[in-house]
């Protein structure tokens, strides 16, 4: 990298890793460092005094940007409407915060006249990919620096030594064995004893959900209201996006909802193991899915479910900013027009059940599902339906006369077997003739 | 239908519906009726004395065929290996029994020299489709009679009156409000108060699972062993397919596992609502999925997951017998070659969690997931990877110089907004210069 | 059907089939008949004097509605932008006209106060499905009558006899053996000698394309301009949609472009055989596809191609009116924003080749494709890319040390074979040591 | 790379690029070089004297391995059976040869006791990915060296200078502007004036196909026979795979069949432009596809077509060796069991048309496609079919009474518009009352 870097905008968390990045960038690039801390709901304690930490590390400025409302409205709700789940279980909590954080870093970089962007992600994770794809889309003219892929620091001890050498205050020793990521949607846990896939997570690992085994027996019932696929109310009370999600996190959390344990495939070709807590999100996914099944026709549901997996891959792999996601969102928006109504859920000791569904757009209609014939459905219609729907099977099957060859008919009865079997069958049966 | 029917093989359950079908077929077609009861694990009480009932109804013969082992081995295990789930939640319990029952009816029809096949399914359901597609594939030369789509009987009262008129013993009044289907895999419930989608199921609806709220707090841990994707052992003890499934049903059942409440889209164009209990199946799906995520590469997993939804549709819609399913099974068989190992599950009060995963074929490797570089993974490789993986985003994005037009860049920063915002941001930030 | 029908709107072509439908509807339903002829470009001769024919057949009114502009703009262009091709080759000419015709019939029915809708499609075709699904979506309150599925008329002879009996003028005997459908987009041919799949079409079958073998050797070059995926100009000259399509039909037609011969799967479960001529459409699909490959990123292209097949099925199967298509169109609209530019084609003796591509949004960039390194691409990036992209293969392959078992490695070399083979190989090789 | 390399197996073509790689490897790694030339049908002139060239360049051995038969049988035929086409048009000629060449290099490396593998692919292409993924799967223990990504040589001039400096004979100056790849299946062309996407290929670019404009007017008819999806005969004469393909190449070539001009997306994130000639392959794809449409049921065809695109991506991207392809091949094998029969094609001046189709397994049946009713199809069945198939549309549409809200109904008629329009419509119509 021959270009001279003058000033770099660094994604800054206040932890040891990004704190040592400040002097390292100054030393290796001879540049100024602007720290950017983005508030996505990681918690007040994480952000407290972060400007002072940045200053102590040598930064020329520190911006703290609160994007919590936007995170919910423009990143979390779209993923919820899409029904996007990665790797069978993962509700994408970390993945969908990254493109927003990256955008804020670019915004500050532009504001501060930076000529480079930096982040503190390691070289084996997904987040480096998510940051750098966003940077490439939004600001391909800015250099990208990833200290963890360049420097010789290889663990906490190295980092502490470097910090001390550079006069940077070392944050109090983390007592936790785990690497965590938390925002308004979820809390993730990786590393330490979790790296052995044969180990269950320790009971004290969890941060935002109770142990289902000891959660209150009475559980809790909650009704979530949606308008055009977007959650708007709890038990009939309209709430702001952040308040609604926080309320559901508390309800889900105290009832042990939303823990998963996952072996996932990272973008960079590795499998990794993580534990995720997504209490409110799990309730929201359940309610939204249920409402869709009430109001969407089958064709739309199936097509949307095909696309949900594409959407999830795209978000997980850092391809948020791009034409694909925008086009998928346009598709989803149309499907959500009638996803208005409410779903009652019961959260109890780790499991969620449906207690009610209501919508003015329901395609499920009680009168259609009864035995009685109606204008819309005549039992005899089924005869013609089945005959044509099944026509290819009558023509193509092993018993078809269309088949001139004595085709091998694996499913059809083999007469010799029948005889043999017949005896057995008859022996235990009543033959009345 | 002008062809004269001489003898018909009737799918027979011993209940009122199929019992009145016997005299009705005799009256309307002047034919003999051969009853066929297929034991798929619906319970001994359902089958007790069924030959006598058939005789009393006027049948010339009654065959009872036990296909329980085959149901598990050749129908349930393939669906499990496929990971097939219909309509987001349904584990296909009824769907996968039908093609086997249909085949047995065809087999008996061949043996007994029948020229027609009959079933007692109603004109609004899926089962008529499943039976008739199977009949069309296996025996397109035999006529198919569906009394419920032909006769004037429109409910239990009509059926009882007809039975009495024909001298057929009327089975004791069902005290249940619900229509149920049970086999080794599951128990389903439909009708009655469930037809109102706003009603939660009554607590006494359930047959094979305990209420999660009152299930034992200590839960239960179970380790399921698989060989090439097929379950073979529980806690290290090899078992026959039927015994294994029954054991898991008991474990899952007493811990409240496997209840779902579903609005589903039937083949015939209606939405319907059902409650399903699949205790052992839910444990098996969880364990199998987990083992796959440990041993299959990402590409194979993703492709398999795409196909799982196709497989589910095909089973649900009665297209079991056909080239598609056979081809999908061939695909799945290859993917399962290394799905050998075991998964420990904890079933507790309705929820299932993973407690261990073990396989000699694990692609998740602890040494790869740590920070340390290795022969297989060098942190610096990520730089090149991200640059090429992200290249299309650098070229196509709104910030790209490739874009000669002043393209609308929705995600990029708008300088005027920035200035406005900047003040706000800076106000709350430390600027150190 | 017990409801009394007062007045029916009939899709009317002026041919024998729909002409006999008029007196038949009057006779069997005691209703008035309003004929609706929709001009989709079937040709002036088809529509000449159609009002008089309708009157002579007994209709109380005849509406002729010209929807040619709308057909191109709102039905053909969306299918083109979608890139929708059914059954590998079919450009959906008949399929996409039907929902528009159906809508016009509904519109006239509303205007004329009709209580029923009728069409003259046969009971084995797709068009009955397309009409009736559109009717069901737009006007589920109106009855639908399909005379060909009700009456005893079974061929031209029957129809003529009925017409004579009812005093309806019999149209001059069709000399053609074929059943045809023509509109602005295409001309299709079915029936007669084409029903034998072993027969090639006769040379005189074709109506709008020349025989490629005898088309002019010099061919013709044409440049088609697009704005946001929609064709707007030919050789730089902006044209109305109808004029543009007609111009391309002439150019393609005289150069033998756009003939296909197809065995297709109808909605109703049959395979059928048809010949299609789509001269202008074939040029448009080629040009549009080429422009997309120039300006769309790979992810968007692949996702769009997945959806193109869904779009085609939906149009073919008559599901035009519905949420699915609307949602897909929203997706496609986003993808087309940059599909602006022009493509030069050479049409010569049945084949189309690309002679130029131009767009201000091209992602193909000459400077990227050369050997030289650039800011965007450094050769050494490929090393890291390949190492991570290929990581799962190094871990999962038969040669991996991750595999503790002596796994069967079908692709890997078998040492015994090697030795055997080695001799052979070496025998013909130079070994220099 | 610290490991000491003793002996490297180099993929060797005899051209300048791989010839300079020999001394470069010796100089930089201090190792011995074993050249491996794999005969995939690139032509005798390419291979003539190649051992001597290798010796002159400094190699210790040169193996020439003829894999032509295997290329066709185990690589080309599977892709043909899969119907795999990449990027809408590309028949994968280069892509499918690479995994076989890579395997041969590994085989020779094992035989010769090499500890490293090398290839001469550039850092911007797909072939480096294909080679290295294959190497990683088959021989993850061997080092991989890619000189073009390491050395300073940046073009022909540099390479010549290096060759001269090292005493390696410089091959006669290439007069061609293009970079080409040829094997039994195809010939590709890239580079030079083709890099400008606005340039059509020069007439003298092509190597194995005639100009369609001047090909014989009479064209040529050929009947290709298949057994279980594999081509076995031409005009009834059984042939070896290589002879069959060569014969079709000649027939297709002299009739101008199989030229394409493509902007494609490379694995490494770039778009590139290429011209491909695949004369025999184009005939084979057309014939095979046609036979499938005759004998496969619609569900199988659609599922297979979904997977064809996955198969193509996998082959293009170098993921040949792996579980996914093996699983897909198992799927395809089942679908091909009945793809036995023959298809007659007419190749004339660049276009291919179908002249006949014959199979004992045809599902297209002339008697089903006529008007007459039959045991298999009763016209009246269509009524019930359409009513149930269309039921969701009657329930969900804008005209449905199910919809309590005055829902926006974009497609439905707006009464005010109707009135306005009605006048216009009526003015041009006959109203008879």
Query: Is the CB of A391 less than 8 angstroms away from the CB of D403?
Result: no
User: How deeply is D8 buried, as exposed, middle or buried, from its count of CB atoms within 10 A (0-12, 13-18, 19+)?
Assistant: buried
Query: Is the CB of A299 less than 8 angstroms away from the CB of D392?
Result: yes
Distance CA A329, CA A79 (A): 9
The boundaries of every CATH 3.90.1260.10 domain in chain B are: 180-296+338-359
Assess D364–A contact: CB distance below 8 Å, yes or no: no
User: How deeply is D430 buried, as exposed, middle or buried, from its count of CB atoms within 10 A (0-12, 13-18, 19+)?
Assistant: middle
Query: Is the CB of A356 less than 8 angstroms away from the CB of B200?
Result: yes
- Starting from the edge strand earliest in sequence, which strands make up the sheet with C259-265, in order? C179-182, C187-190, C271-277, C259-265
Q: How far is C395 from chain D (nearest CA, A)?
A: 8
Distance CA B51, CA A319 (A): 64
Residue A373 has pLDDT above 70, yes or no: no
Contact (Cβ atoms closer than 8 angstroms) between residue D119 and residue D146: yes
pLDDT score, position D401 = 60
Which listed CATH number (3.30.830.10, 1.20.140.10, 3.90.1260.10, 3.10.310.30) goes with B180-296+338-359? 3.90.1260.10
pLDDT score, position D17 = 86
pLDDT score, position A255 = 97
Interface with C, mutate which of A135, A327, A386 (most C CBs under 10 A) = A327
Strands of D209-362 (E only): list them: 220-227, 230-234, 237-238, 259-265, 271-277, 341-348, 351-358
The boundaries of every CATH 3.40.50.620 domain in chain B are: 7-175
User: How deeply is D423 buried, as exposed, middle or buried, from its count of CB atoms within 10 A (0-12, 13-18, 19+)?
Assistant: exposed
User: Which chains have 3 or more CB–CB distances shorter than 8 Å to chain D?
Assistant: A, B, C
Find chain C residues with C-beta within 8 A of B381's C-beta: 383-385, 387-388
Query: Is the CB of D334 less than 8 angstroms away from the CB of B332?
Result: no
Residue A422 has pLDDT above 60, yes or no: no
Length of chain B: 433
Distance CA A31, CA A402 (A): 79
- Catalytic positions of C, written as ranges: 17, 98, 127, 179
> What six digits make up the tokens of C156?
């031209």
Q: Of C268, C270, C299, which has the smallest distance from its Cβ to A324's Cβ?
A: C299
Query: Is the CB of A268 less than 8 angstroms away from the CB of C333?
Result: no
Q: What is the pLDDT of residues C2-27, one digit of tens each?
A: 579 999 999 999 988 899 999 999 99
Q: How far is B421 from chain A (nearest CA, A)?
A: 10
Assess D420–C contact: CB distance below 8 Å, yes or no: no
Query: Is the CB of C351 less than 8 angstroms away from the CB of D349?
Result: yes
What DSSP string describes B49-107? Answer: THHHHHHHHT-SEEEEEE-HHHIIIIIIHHHHHHT--BTTTB--HHHHHHHHHHHHHHH
Contact (Cβ atoms closer than 8 angstroms) between residue B86 and residue B315: yes
Contact (Cβ atoms closer than 8 angstroms) between residue A390 and residue B132: yes
Find chain C residues with C-beta within 8 A of B383's C-beta: 381, 384
Residue B182 has pLDDT above 90, yes or no: yes
Distance CA A339, CA A335 (A): 8
% of chain A surpassing 90 pLDDT: 78
Q: What is the pLDDT of residues A117-149, one digit of tens each?
A: 999 998 999 999 999 999 999 999 999 999 999
Residue D136: which residues within 8 A CB-CB, separation 6 or more?
C390, C391, C393, C394, C397, D144
Catalytic residue among A7, A13, A17, A130: A17
Query: Is the CB of C272 less than 8 angstroms away from the CB of D369?
Result: yes
Distance CA A342, CA B12 (A): 42
Query: Is the CB of D392 less than 8 angstroms away from the CB of A361?
Result: no
Assess D388–A contact: CB distance below 8 Å, yes or no: yes
Q: What is the pLDDT of residues D301-334, one digit of tens each?
A: 999 999 999 999 999 999 999 999 999 999 999 9
Residue A289: which residues within 8 A CB-CB, separation 6 or more?
A83, B88
Residue bearing the bigger pLDDT, C227 or A427: C227
Q: What is the pLDDT of residues A71-121, one digit of tens each?
A: 999 999 999 999 999 999 999 999 999 999 999 999 999 999 999 999 999
What DSSP string describes D130-149? Answer: HHHHHHHHH-TTSEEE-HHH
- In the DSSP assignment, the letter for residue C407 is -
Residue C423 has pLDDT above 70, yes or no: no
What DSSP string describes C206-275? Answer: -SSS--GGGS-TT-EEEEEEEETTEEEEETTEE--HHHHHHHHHHHHHHTT--EEEEEEE-TTS-EEEEE
Residue B110: which residues within 8 A CB-CB, separation 6 or more?
A413, A415, A418, B139
pLDDT score, position A374 = 62
pLDDT score, position A415 = 38
Distance CA D255, CA D244 (A): 17
Distance CA B278, CA B323 (A): 28
What phi, psi does B192 have (nearest 5°)? Answer: 60, -140
Residue A327 has pLDDT above 70, yes or no: yes
Q: What is the pLDDT of residues A20-48, one digit of tens each?
A: 999 999 999 999 999 999 999 999 999 99
Residue C231 has pLDDT above 90, yes or no: yes
pLDDT score, position D419 = 35
Task: Give CA separation, C76 vs C10, C71, C230, in Å.
Answer: 24, 6, 10
* D positions 285-344 inside 8 Å of A (CB): 297-299, 338
Per-residue pLDDT band for B93 (boundaries 50, 70, 90) equals very high
User: Which chains have 3 or more CB–CB distances shorter than 8 Å to chain B?
Assistant: A, C, D
Average pLDDT rounded to a whole number, residues B90-112? 98
Query: Is the CB of D297 less than 8 angstroms away from the CB of A391?
Result: no
Contact (Cβ atoms closer than 8 angstroms) between residue B368 and residue B377: yes
Residue B329 has pLDDT above 90, yes or no: yes
Assess A384–C contact: CB distance below 8 Å, yes or no: no
Find chain C residues with C-beta within 8 A of A303's C-beta: 310, 324, 327-328
Average pLDDT rounded to a whole number, residues C65-90? 98
Distance CA C291, CA C362 (A): 9
- CATH topology for C7-175? Rossmann fold (3.40.50)
Residue B411 has pLDDT above 70, yes or no: no
Average pLDDT rounded to a whole number, residues C233-248? 98
Residue D412 has pLDDT above 50, yes or no: no
- Name the region of C15 (left: φ>0; alpha: ψ -120 to 50; beta: rest): beta
Dihedral of CA B273/B275/B281/B286: which sign? positive
pLDDT score, position B404 = 42
Distance CA C17, CA C350 (A): 35
Contact (Cβ atoms closer than 8 angstroms) between residue B333 and residue D330: yes
Per-residue pLDDT band for D3 (boundaries 50, 70, 90) equals confident
Contact (Cβ atoms closer than 8 angstroms) between residue B206 and residue B244: no
Q: How far is A298 from chain C (nearest CA, A)?
A: 10
Angle between helices C298-316 and C93-111 (to 10 degrees): 60
Q: How far is C313 from chain A (nearest CA, A)?
A: 11
Assess A228–C contact: CB distance below 8 Å, yes or no: no
Query: Is the CB of C303 less than 8 angstroms away from the CB of A322?
Result: no
Contact (Cβ atoms closer than 8 angstroms) between residue B28 and residue B3: no
Residue bearing the bigger pLDDT, D372 or C328: C328
User: How deeply is C66 buried, as exposed, middle or buried, from its count of CB atoms within 10 A (0-12, 13-18, 19+)?
Assistant: middle
Distance CA D350, CA C347 (A): 11
Q: What value, to the nearest 5°, has the Cα angle with vertex B161 and ends B159 and B164?
A: 110
Q: What is the pLDDT of residues B6-54, one digit of tens each?
A: 999 999 999 888 999 999 999 999 999 999 999 999 999 999 999 999 9
Residue bearing the bigger pLDDT, C402 or B257: B257
pLDDT score, position C147 = 94
**Looking at chain D, which residue has its C-alpha nearest residue C51?**
D430
pLDDT score, position C174 = 63
What phi, psi does A73 have (nearest 5°)? Answer: -70, -45
Assess A37–B contact: CB distance below 8 Å, yes or no: no
Q: Cα(first)–Cα(last) distance of chain A, in Å?
A: 93
What phi, psi does D10 have (nearest 5°)? Answer: -110, 130
Assess A216–B contact: CB distance below 8 Å, yes or no: no
Lowest mean pLDDT among A187-196, B359-368, C200-209: B359-368
Distance CA C270, CA B97 (A): 28
Residue D26: strand, helix, or coil:
helix
Q: Residue B369: which of A124, A263, A260 has the closest Cα? A: A124
**Looking at chain B, which residue has its C-alpha nearest residue C408?**
B337
Find chain D residues with C-beta within 8 A of A299's C-beta: 392
Q: What is the pLDDT of residues A340-370, one digit of tens each?
A: 999 999 999 999 999 999 999 999 988 776 6
Query: Is the CB of B363 less than 8 angstroms away from the CB of C396?
Result: yes
Q: How far is B80 from chain D (nearest CA, A)?
A: 17
Residue A411 has pLDDT above 80, yes or no: no
What phi, psi does D122 have (nearest 5°)? Answer: -80, 170
Residue bearing the bigger pLDDT, C101 or A368: C101
Interface with D, mutate which of A137, A298, A375, A381 (most D CBs under 10 A) = A381
Residue C430 has pLDDT above 60, yes or no: no
Residue C275 has pLDDT above 50, yes or no: yes
Q: What is the pLDDT of residues C349-358, one digit of tens each?
A: 999 999 999 9
Per-residue pLDDT band for C419 (boundaries 50, 70, 90) equals very low
Q: What is the pLDDT of residues D61-84, one digit of tens each?
A: 999 999 999 999 999 999 999 999
Lowest mean pLDDT among A195-204, B181-190, D232-241: A195-204
Q: Of C269, C331, C388, which has the smallest distance from its Cβ to A331's Cβ?
A: C331
The average confidence (pLDDT) of chain A is: 90
Distance CA B232, CA B280 (A): 14
- In the DSSP assignment, the letter for residue A261 is E
- Catalytic positions of B, written as ranges: 17, 98, 127, 179
Instruction: Write down the H helix ranges in C38-176.
Output: 44-47, 50-57, 68-70, 77-82, 93-111, 127-138, 147-150, 156-166
Query: Is the CB of A388 less than 8 angstroms away from the CB of D405?
Result: no
Per-residue pLDDT band for A375 (boundaries 50, 70, 90) equals low
Per-residue pLDDT band for A266 (boundaries 50, 70, 90) equals very high
Task: Give CA separation, D225 vs D75, D232, D290, in Å.
Answer: 19, 6, 12
Query: Is the CB of C363 less than 8 angstroms away from the CB of B402?
Result: yes
Residue C428 has pLDDT above 70, yes or no: no
Residue bearing the bigger pLDDT, A402 or B346: B346
């Amino acid at each position: 990298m021959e270009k001279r870097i003058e000033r770099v905008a660094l994604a800054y968390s206040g932890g040891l890793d990004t704190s040592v990045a400040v002097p390292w960038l100054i030393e290796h690039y001879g540049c100024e460092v602007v720290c950017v801390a983005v508030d996505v709901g990681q918690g007040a304690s994480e952000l407290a005094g972060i400007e002072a930490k940045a200053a102590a590390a040598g930064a020329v400025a520190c911006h703290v940007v609160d994007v919590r409302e936007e995170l919910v409205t423009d990143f979390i709700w779209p993923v919820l409407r899409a029904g996007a789940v990665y790797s069978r279980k993962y509700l994408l909590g970390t993945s969908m915060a990254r493109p927003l954080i990256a955008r804020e870093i670019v915004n500050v970089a532009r504001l501060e006249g930076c000529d480079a962007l930096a982040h503190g992600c390691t070289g084996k994770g997904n987040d480096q990919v998510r940051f750098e794809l966003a940077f490439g889309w939004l600001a391909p003219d800015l250099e990208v620096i990833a200290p963890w892929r360049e420097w010789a620091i290889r663990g906490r001890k190295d980092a502490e030594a470097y910090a001390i050498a550079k006069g940077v205050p070392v944050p109090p020793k983390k007592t936790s064995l785990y690497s965590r990521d938390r925002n308004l949607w979820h809390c993730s846990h990786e590393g330490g004893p979790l790296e052995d896939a044969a180990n269950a997570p320790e009971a004290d690992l969890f941060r935002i959900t109770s142990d289902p085994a000891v959660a209150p027996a009475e559980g809790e019932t909650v009704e979530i209201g949606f308008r055009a696929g977007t959650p708007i109310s709890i038990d009939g009370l309209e709430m702001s996006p952040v308040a609604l999600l926080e309320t559901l996190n508390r309800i889900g959390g105290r009832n042990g909802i939303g823990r998963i344990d996952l072996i996932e495939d990272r973008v960079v070709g590795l499998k990794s193991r993580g534990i995720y807590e997504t209490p409110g999100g799990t309730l929201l996914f359940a309610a939204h899915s249920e409402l869709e099944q009430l109001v969407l026709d089958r064709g739309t549901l199936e097509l949307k479910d095909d696309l949900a997996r594409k959407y999830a891959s795209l978000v997980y792999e850092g391809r948020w900013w791009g034409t694909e996601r925008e086009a998928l969102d346009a598709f989803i928006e149309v499907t959500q027009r009638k996803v208005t109504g409410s779903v009652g859920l019961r959260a109890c000791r780790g499991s969620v059940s449906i207690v009610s569904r209501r919508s003015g757009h329901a395609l499920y209609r009680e009168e259609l599902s009864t035995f009685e014939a109606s204008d819309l459905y005549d039992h005899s219609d089924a005869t013609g339906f089945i005959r044509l729907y099944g026509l290819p099977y009558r023509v193509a099957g092993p018993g078809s006369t269309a088949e001139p060859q004595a085709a091998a008919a694996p499913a059809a009865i083999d007469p010799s077997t029948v005889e043999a079997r017949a005896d057995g069958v008859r022996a235990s049966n009543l033959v009345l003739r």
